[in-house]
Amino acid sequence: MSDLVVIVYPTEAKAEEMRQKIIGLQKEYLIEIGDAAIAVMHEGGKVKLNQLLNTTALGAVSGSFWGLLIGAIFLMPVFGAAIGAASGALGGALTDYGVDDGFMKELSGSLQPGNAALFLLIRKMTADKVLEAIKGSGGVVLKTSLDHTREQALRDAISASPGAVEHPSATPAPVGSGAPSPVG
């Protein structure tokens, strides 16, 4: 089962930086994402979606390949490629993978102009390592489908300072114990 996480950042550049960091974590097999889209609120209330996967272009490429192949069989490869590209682009435009576009636009309608929301559809993740990697990245958690404990851990991680490592079970060593310090 996938989990949805929506984090709001002050700029589109910061949201893109975090998306690239998450993609890097995916390359390390620490997280598996189904979608990572960014929605930006522009002046005038217009929401722009920046999808990870352009389904229209993907459909046009695959459609033109199949159209070329079928057109070659019937000795009309150029016509077949053109028809295949057009039908593939149409099919790609009508296909929606990952987080629903309408949901992203509706939820992003509450953003301030210039802010960007990073929508992550997470299939699997090694939570402790991912949270450590995004610690102190900033942003505000807008919506999640995580349970309360995991959601609070996410909120704490993105608001913590990047250098701080918390070990609640570790007790500090008493002052003056251990080996004497060298004097020089």
Q: Which domains does the chain have, with CATH numbers?
A: 3-52+100-159 (3.40.1520), 55-94 (no CATH)
Contact 59, 92 (CB under 8 A): yes
One digit per residue, the tens of pLDDT, for the chain of length 184 reads 788 899 999 999 999 999 999 999 999 999 998 888 999 988 888 888 887 654 445 455 555 566 655 666 666 666 655 666 566 555 544 444 567 778 888 888 888 899 999 999 889 989 899 999 999 888 898 888 888 898 898 899 988 765 444 433 333 334 444 444 444 4
A 10 A CB-CB count for 55 gives 17
pTM here is 0.65
